[in-house]
Amino acid sequence: MTPSVGLRIGYQGITGRGWSYTQLPYAQELNDNGFYKKKFGTAYFHGDVMWNISNAFSGYKETRTWNFVPFLSAGIAHSYRKGIHNNEFAIGVGLLNNIRISNRVDLTLEARQLVVRQGYDSSPMGGLAGMGSVTFGVSVKLGRTGFKRSHEAEHLANIANLNTVNTALVSDNDNLKDQNEQLKDENEALKAKVEELEARPAEVEKKVLLNVTPGAVFFEIGQTSLSPQELFHLDFYLQNVIAQEPERVFVLTGYADKQTGSKKRNQQLSEMRVEYVYNLLKEKYNVPAERLEIKASGSEVDRWGDALLNRCVVIE
């Protein structure tokens, strides 16, 4: 079990001897001194709880020469002779001495004292009887030798930590899925608004675009560049408004919606969006820089009252 505590099962016996004042089933032969000589077969089937004192007090050491191992024993003691049998419960104590010869071979010297009911040796008298024994032998270790300390507690702690981390990751993943679904719904709503605007009659759209400023181009959530549709709208606004007023100075203002992202991130998005549109007008359409002014309002100003529409750059 451990280097200090162990369990053992075993068998012990062959012949028991003793003397009796009276003739008994196991004592039939009278000697010259007036005693009846006992002789009977014995068999003791037992289990032992063993405590290695050497390891308990000095620590485990595979190369220790001498190990002292006291033990407690309990089992069934069986006696027999010429068709007579008797079984009794027995308990006992003992001391095992292990003398190391090599990694696999030990000499063993064991002393044991058993206590059984006195009728075990066929005596009719009540009370208890003792039976002592001393054995000497050789112990041979098979298979792996030595002992490695278990790290089960450490492994269980690591598993618990991994389970905690895994639970947190699962929770984060669920949150990301929810956010993705929300963003998907918002994008679908924005696409629906764009399709609705594009589906309006051309003459109505032309009237609005030519006579009304400011103009605006809209960005997807988290994006700083325009979709092909919004590039088309910017091109249309340039040809029909900016190009028609060559002396006018236009102010470009970038916005971001405050429902997503931090204040700092939204300010950065609005700056990147307005600079992107400014560079398009200046480099692609050759609008002079002196005709353009840029501002970035972040998410502080709710220009349109709608998060989908506030991701924009307004030209006025």
> Is the backbone peptide bond immediately before 214 cis, with ω within 30 degrees of 0?
yes
Give CA angle at 26 (20, 28), nearest 5°. 70
**Domain C-terminal end among 199, 219, 240:** 199
Asked if residue 209 has pLDDT above 90, the reply is: no
Average pLDDT over residues 257-278: 91
Residue with the bigger pLDDT between 20 and 57: it is 57
160 and 228 together in one domain:
no
**Domain C-terminal end among 199, 224, 239:** 199
Amino acid letter, residue 271? E
Asked if residue 31 has pLDDT above 80, the reply is: yes
Convert the pLDDT of each residue in 143-200 to its tens digit: 777 666 666 777 888 899 999 999 999 999 999 999 999 999 999 999 999 988 888 8
For residue 76, what pLDDT is reported? Answer: 94
For residue 204, what pLDDT is reported? Answer: 52
Concatenated DSSP letters for 146-203?
S-----HHHHHHHHHHHHHHHHHHHHHHHHHHHHHHHHHHHHHHHHHHHHHHHTS-HH
Burial class (CB in 10 A: 0-12, 13-18, 19+), 40: buried
21: tokens are 């004042």
Nearest in space to 221 (alpha carbons), one of 176, 263, 241, 191: 191
Against a cut of 0.75, is the pTM above it? no
77 and 155 together in one domain:
no
219 and 305 together in one domain:
yes
* 8 Å CB contact between 280 and 220: no
Residue with the bigger pLDDT between 58 and 205: it is 58
Q: Please report, for the domain that includes residue 211, its CATH number.
A: 3.30.1330.60
* 8 Å CB contact between 216 and 312: yes
Residue % of the chain over a pLDDT of 70:
93
For residue 150, what pLDDT is reported? Answer: 60
| Structural domain contains residue 277 | yes
Element holding 41 (H helix, E strand): strand 36-51
Q: Pseudo-torsion of CA 256, 257, 262, 265, nearest 10°? A: -20
| Structural domain contains residue 87 | yes
Structural domain harbouring 97: 5-140
126 and 34 together in one domain:
yes
For residue 236, what pLDDT is reported? Answer: 93
Average pLDDT over residues 292-312: 87
* 281-289: long-range contacts, CB 8 A cutoff, minimum separation 24: 281/238, 281/242, 281/252, 285/235, 285/238, 285/242, 287/238, 287/242
240 and 255 together in one domain:
yes
* 8 Å CB contact between 18 and 46: no
* 8 Å CB contact between 285 and 258: no
Residue with the bigger pLDDT between 29 and 252: it is 252
Measured distance CA(141)–CA(303) in Å, rounded: 87
Average pLDDT over residues 213-234: 90
**Domain C-terminal end among 98, 120, 140:** 140
Q: Band the pLDDT of 90: cuts 50, 70, 90.
A: very high
Measured distance CA(314)–CA(305) in Å, rounded: 14
Cα-to-chain-centroid distance, residue 132 = 54
68 and 95 together in one domain:
yes
Structural domain count, the chain: 3
Average pLDDT over residues 14-40: 81
Burial class (CB in 10 A: 0-12, 13-18, 19+), 65: exposed
For residue 211, what pLDDT is reported? Answer: 52
